Amino acid sequence: LKAKYECFEPMMRRFLNGSLALRRPVETKLVCVSEKEGKQLGKNGVAAVKSKKLAAAGVDQWKLQNKAIKELFNRHPVLETAFVEMAHEVIRTAAWGLMWRVGIGAAL
């Protein structure tokens, strides 16, 4: 996928980094997405995952808000499942994920 889509590696790096940023939907088609837009897609993914209680819901929101992600998941369905699993790991290791877990634990 890295050879086919120049945006794939920067998107993966930003998504796995887990740092938060403002969401700016990318309306570009998958084949036309630049490296810079790939970075924005990764940031959008983290923001979408953080905004939902479940990682799967966050990834689904990410897919609905970004045309390129929707195309990627339609062409390679296994990637959606992979991103849900990566989202679980991002939540588990991120500082904001820890705050969410501690807050829920305190409420219980």
Token representation of residue 94: 């991120």
H-type helices in the chain, by residue range? 8-17, 35-51, 55-65, 67-75, 78-93, 95-107
Spatial neighbors of 103 by CB under 8 A, at least 6 apart, are none
Pairwise CA distance, residues 28 & 21, whole Å: 19
Tens-place pLDDT, residues 88-100:
988 887 766 666 6
Tens-place pLDDT, residues 9-48:
999 999 988 877 777 888 889 989 999 999 999 999 998 9
The model's pTM: 0.79
